[in-house]
């Protein structure tokens, strides 16, 4: 069954009403950050007091499958050895000198519960962001444990609560939760379903991706993670082979694209084959390597007639910029879902 994109649906009240729940969930992202950090404020103070009363930990271990976001934030910054350990256990050397931090937004993963129980048994200092009455919360009970209570099951909001603690004890970068929430609110305003296509960046991006196989790239560690999450969203809503990767992974795909012929019929397609579109998530990183890779990708795309779309952000902190890029891309994927219809 053929699928085509009807951009008129992006401003159609009936179509938007059918997608209201998903779009409303995105719009409430900033509110969830404020809610989680506010609810965990007392527990964060307790964890900070405990950490400051002890010597700086020998190492920080982020345990559980949601540890990858903490790794993206902390690896370039943490002043002590840091390791992300997504499996259901801990490194063999982990002990009472180490800090174990765990994100468990839903708190139901048995592997994460096992890792938390092992950390408690070994006498590690443990800080877990999870629902207090969840499986993970029950395994976190211990003398050196602190639970940061969560309720929204939002991974980003849960991570911001944990990063607020790590910032306070000088083990992570600045992670002002209000800056993150404000950045999310600004995206929700600019990408609102009530804003016309002409002034809505997410709707414009959805139209650009409507007849393409996206190649999503972010230069910094956090922008690259946002790129992977956005590509996942696009694959989920469209069933297309949206790819996210480093420059060396995406360049061969761009180089293999057939050069666009100015005499091609734009409505004829290429035998049903979708052309790639390069989507750059730019968080303002000015590292020379990032600039060089971005330049190579854009130059190659231009030489092959591949469209380039760029999402930018002016949020004031690394975590806020990550949140802004991720939410903009997620809005675009939802508008892509809305516009795709089957004959």
> Computed from CA positions of residues 216, 218, 221, 223, in that sequence, does the dihedral angle turn out positive or negative?
negative
Last residue of a domain, one of 142, 174, 206: 174
Would you state the pLDDT for residue 68? 87
- Same structural domain for residues 237 and 122? no
Residue 258 lies in a domain: yes
- Same structural domain for residues 202 and 337? yes
pLDDT tens per residue, range 266-286: 555 444 578 999 999 999 988
Would you state the pLDDT for residue 66? 82
Would you state the pLDDT for residue 203? 98
Residue 156 lies in a domain: yes
- Same structural domain for residues 128 and 220? no
Residue 41 lies in a domain: yes
Would you state the pLDDT for residue 266? 52
Residue 184 lies in a domain: no
Would you state the pLDDT for residue 188? 98
- Same structural domain for residues 329 and 200? yes
Split into its structural domains, the chain has a count of 2
Would you state the pLDDT for residue 76? 86
- Same structural domain for residues 219 and 336? yes
Would you state the pLDDT for residue 42? 97
- Same structural domain for residues 209 and 311? yes
- Same structural domain for residues 156 and 225? no
- Same structural domain for residues 281 and 204? yes
- CATH number of 333's domain: 3.40.50.10490
Would you state the pLDDT for residue 271? 46
Residue 183, number of CB atoms within 10 A of its CB = 26
Would you state the pLDDT for residue 141? 92
Average pLDDT across the chain, whole number: 93
Range of the domain at 313: 3-19+193-342
Would you state the pLDDT for residue 177? 97
Residue 187 lies in a domain: no
Residue 185 lies in a domain: no
What does the H/E/C string look like for the chain? Answer: CCEEECHHHHHCHHHHHHCHHHHHHHHCHHHHHHHHHHHCHHHHHHHHHHHHHCCCCCCEEEECCCHHHHHHHHCCCCCCCEEEECCCCCCCCCCCCCEEEEECCCCCCHHHHHHHHHHHHCCCEEEEEECCCCHHHHHCCCCCEEEEECCCCCHHHHHHHHHHHHHHCCCCCCCCHHHHHHHHHHHHHHCCCCCCHHHCHHHHHHHHHCCEEEEEEECCHHHHHHHHHHHHHHHHHHCCCCEECCHHHHHHHHHHCCCCCCCCCCCCCECCECEEEEEEEECCCCCHHHHHHHHHHHHHHHHCCCEEEEEECCCCCHHHHHHHHHHHHHHHHHHHHHHEEEC
> Computed from CA positions of residues 64, 240, 280, 230, in that sequence, does the dihedral angle turn out positive or negative?
negative
- Same structural domain for residues 201 and 155? no
- Same structural domain for residues 7 and 136? no
Please report, rounded to a whole number, the percentage of residues in the chain having pLDDT higher than 70: 96
Residue 233 lies in a domain: yes
Would you state the pLDDT for residue 132? 94
- Same structural domain for residues 12 and 39? no
Low-confidence ranges of the chain (pLDDT < 70): 1, 261-272, 343
């Amino acid at each position: 069954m053929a699928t085509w994109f009807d951009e008129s649906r992006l401003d159609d009240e009936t179509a938007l009403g059918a997608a209201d729940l998903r779009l409303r969930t995105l719009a409430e992202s900033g509110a969830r950050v404020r809610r989680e950090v506010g609810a965990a404020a007392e527990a964060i103070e307790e964890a900070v007091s405990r950490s400051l009363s002890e010597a700086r930990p020998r190492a920080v271990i982020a345990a559980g499958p949601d540890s990858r976001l903490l790794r993206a934030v902390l690896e370039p910054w943490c002043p002590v050895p840091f390791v992300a350990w997504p499996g259901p256990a801990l490194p063999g050397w982990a002990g009472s000198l180490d800090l174990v931090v765990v994100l468990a937004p839903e708190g139901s993963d048995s592997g994460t519960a096992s890792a938390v129980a092992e950390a408690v048994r070994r006498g590690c200092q443990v800080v877990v962001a999870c629902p207090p009455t969840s499986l993970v919360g029950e395994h976190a009970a211990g003398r050196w444990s602190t639970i940061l209570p969560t309720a929204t099951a939002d991974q980003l909001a849960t991570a911001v609560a944990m990063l607020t603690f790590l910032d306070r004890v000088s083990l992570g970068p600045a992670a002002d939760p209000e800056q993150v929430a404000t950045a999310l609110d600004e995206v929700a305003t600019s990408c609102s379903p009530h804003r016309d296509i002409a002034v809505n960046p997410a709707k414009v991006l959805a139209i650009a991706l409507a007849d393409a196989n996206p190649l999503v790239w972010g230069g910094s560690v956090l922008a690259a993670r946002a790129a992977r999450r956005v590509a996942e969203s696009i694959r989920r809503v469209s069933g297309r082979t949206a790819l996210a990767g480093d420059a060396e992974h995406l360049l061969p795909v761009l180089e293999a694209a057939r050069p666009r012929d100015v005499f091609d019929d734009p409505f004829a397609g290429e035998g049903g084959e979708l052309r790639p579109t390069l989507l750059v998530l730019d968080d303002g990183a000015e590292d020379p390597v990032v600039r060089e890779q971005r330049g190579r990708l854009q130059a190659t795309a231009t030489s092959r007639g591949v469209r380039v779309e760029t999402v930018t952000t002016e949020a004031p902190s690394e975590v806020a910029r990550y949140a802004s890029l991720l939410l903009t891309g997620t809005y675009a994927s939802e508008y892509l879902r809305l516009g795709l219809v089957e004959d």
